[in-house]
Amino acid sequence: MTRLIDLTLTLDPDNRAKLPPPLAGAAKVVAPQIEYAHPAKKGAEEFCRYLGCTHDDLPDGEGWGEETLSDMSSHCGTHVDAPLHSGSRIAGLLARTITDIPLEELYRPGIVLDVRPWAKHNEEITIEMLDAALAATGTTIKQGDAVLIRTGQERYTMTDPLFYQQPGMSRASTLHLTRQGATILGTDAVGWDLSFGVMARKFQQTRDKSVLWDGHKAIVEREAFIVQQMTNFAELPLSGFMVGFFPLKLARCSAAPARVVAFVN
């Protein structure tokens, strides 16, 4: 029997208010604004307006339920990054958008690399950490695998400052996975790389442009899809399962919110 495990965050507009003030502008990547039309209230009004009837004409006194979404990023919540998010050309070719990716490439065998014993806030996840976590799975990364990095960040809520101080993947650690064959790279953290604040400080101290968003920029060299803001990794075995990463079909976009589900026997 196959057990389904939801690895997707709920897009709840109430979470927008939980962002600290410096990050308020990022609300559109947390959840959309949602205007609710309840069947007994605004839904009934709209029903009558479209169908030319009155509230007394409604069979059960209600109309329909409907919601209007606004102020929503293509990178909202649990989402799949298409290669275009990392640059316009990938390995010398035009970058693929989210609607260029066939479903076969988004339903893949999964491996969980649990780096919690070694990863620290605001520090890079190293190749050595990844190799140790891979050894614990008793398997190897094969071409087309989805590699999920369990950092432990899902234990924090958005009101906890540590939520925004994730351990981050570097260019070297990202390429270490893609060169072994990983084509989907997932994380339970809010971002794949170190936080913007940490990267900005590193750049200001060194003026080394290679530290800026280097985990994502590694995709320019070797194509893969990055999936961020996942959850429920604790429910997964380390290997031996399938994962479906099914994004909305947003034409020509660099990403799309997705329903991500693991299929575990």
In tens, the pLDDT along 168-222 reads 999 999 999 999 999 999 999 999 999 999 999 999 999 999 889 999 999 999 9
Q: What mean pLDDT do residues 22-51 have?
A: 96
Place of tokens 């620290």: 120
Q: What mean pLDDT do residues 219-238 have?
A: 98
**79-264 has CATH 2.60.120.260 classification:** no
Q: What mean pLDDT do residues 14-23 have?
A: 96
3 state DSSP class of 194: coil
Residues of the chain within CATH 3.50.30.50 domain(s) are: 79-264
pLDDT for res 94 = 98
Question: How many CA atoms are closer than 13 Å to the CA of 139, on its beta-carbon side?
Answer: 16
Using CA atoms, how far apart are residues 9 and 3, in angstroms rounded to an integer?
A: 18
Average pLDDT over the chain, rounded to an integer: 97
pLDDT for res 153 = 97
Which residues have CB under 8 Å from 65's CB, separation 6+? 37, 38, 39, 43
pLDDT for res 200 = 93
Q: Is the pLDDT of residue 59 over 90?
A: no
Q: Return the bridge partners of 168, or none.
A: 124
pLDDT for res 261 = 98
Please tell me what DSSP assigns to residue 190: S
Using CA atoms, how far apart are residues 205 and 171, in angstroms rounded to an integer?
A: 19
- Tell me the chain's radius of gyration from C-alpha atoms: 21
User: The pTM is what?
Assistant: 0.95
Closest by Cα among 191, 74, 212 to 125 = 191
